């Protein structure tokens, strides 16, 4: 899917109600593709917060300050809904945006529950940013849905950058990818790999080539379904897609 040119937020046409999708970069594209399937006639604004990329290696204080600034920047936009297309952002900023905006705010969570239902051996690897790996929310999901399952938390601090490079160049450095995913080779009976970062969705085919016997769990369809459930319908729009940075 070809996306429009990236422009500054202040240059956007914000006169019409729009669905906004926020991420630190190209991870938003995977969520957008699924949302577009369910609501093809909506306006979409994709925010790629590249100046703060990657979210996953920032401190909690840095993240919360950044998200408060973004919330203030977009609060006067006519929003149908806001999708936080990022596990790290959802973990640390969901309430910040919900307190500031008068629209549904949809978060992205690690697909642990979905991975558990798809794992015959009950042996799962969760690929995530360091921030998501160490978050209390991730631990809460494991305690709730995976008490009898072996969950291997694999921090992958460089995988988002590998994904960004893939979008820019349409190719992956196999050496870098293999090195980043090397811990997976040591997990006996691994049958399911859960992608807990929307950037990783973009290279799931490349991951599958390295681990062809594993199911790859991508949460983007579930996020799109939740967006469709909670967002109000908008009629008589001429659909458009805009991309911006802050």
Helix (H) or strand (E) holding 111: none
Residue 126 β-bridge partners? 153, 194
> Which residue of the set 35, 86, 103, 219 is catalytic?
86
Active site residue 219: no
Residue of 35, 103, 197, 244 with catalytic role: 197
Report residue 145 as tokens: 């849905």
Edge-to-edge strands of the sheet including 79-84?
A: 6-8, 241-245, 44-48, 18-23, 79-84, 105-106
Q: What is the CA radius of gyration of the chain?
A: 18
Residue 123 is among the residues annotated as catalytic for this protein: no
The CA distance from 136 to 140, in Å, is 6
If we measure between CA atoms, which residue out of 128, 130, 135, 127 comes closest to residue 94? 135
Tokens 């016997």 sit on residue: 213
Of 49, 43, 36, 28, the closest CA to residue 79 belongs to 43
| Residue 232: Cβ within 10 Å count | 9
Catalytic machinery residues: 86, 197
């Amino acid at each position: 899917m070809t996306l429009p040119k990236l422009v500054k937020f202040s240059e956007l046409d914000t006169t019409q109600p729009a669905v906004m999708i926020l991420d630190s970069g190209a991870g938003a594209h995977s969520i957008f593709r699924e949302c577009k399937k369910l609501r093809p006639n909506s306006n979409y604004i994709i925010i790629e917060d590249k100046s703060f990329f990657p979210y996953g290696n920032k401190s909690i204080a840095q993240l919360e300050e950044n998200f408060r600034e973004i919330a203030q920047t977009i609060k006067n936009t006519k929003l149908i809904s806001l999708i936080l297309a990022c596990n790290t952002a959802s973990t640390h900023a969901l309430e910040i945006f919900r307190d500031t905006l008068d629209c549904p705010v949809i978060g992205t969570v690690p697909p642990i529950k979905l991975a558990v239902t798809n794992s015959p051996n009950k042996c799962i690897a969760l690929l995530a940013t360091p921030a998501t790996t160490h978050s209390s929310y991730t631990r809460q999901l494991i305690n709730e849905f995976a008490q009898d399952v072996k969950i291997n938390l694999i921090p992958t601090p460089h995988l988002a950058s590998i994904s960004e490079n893939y979008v820019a160049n349409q190719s992956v450095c196999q050496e870098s990818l293999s090195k980043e995913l090397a811990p997976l080779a040591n997990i006996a009976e691994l049958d399911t790999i859960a992608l807990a970062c929307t950037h990783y969705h973009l290279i799931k085919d490349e991951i599958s080539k390295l681990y062809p016997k594993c199911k790859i769990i991508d949460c983007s369809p579930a996020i799109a379904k939740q967006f469709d459930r909670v967002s109000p319908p908008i009629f008589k729009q001429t659909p458009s897609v805009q991309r911006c940075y802050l």
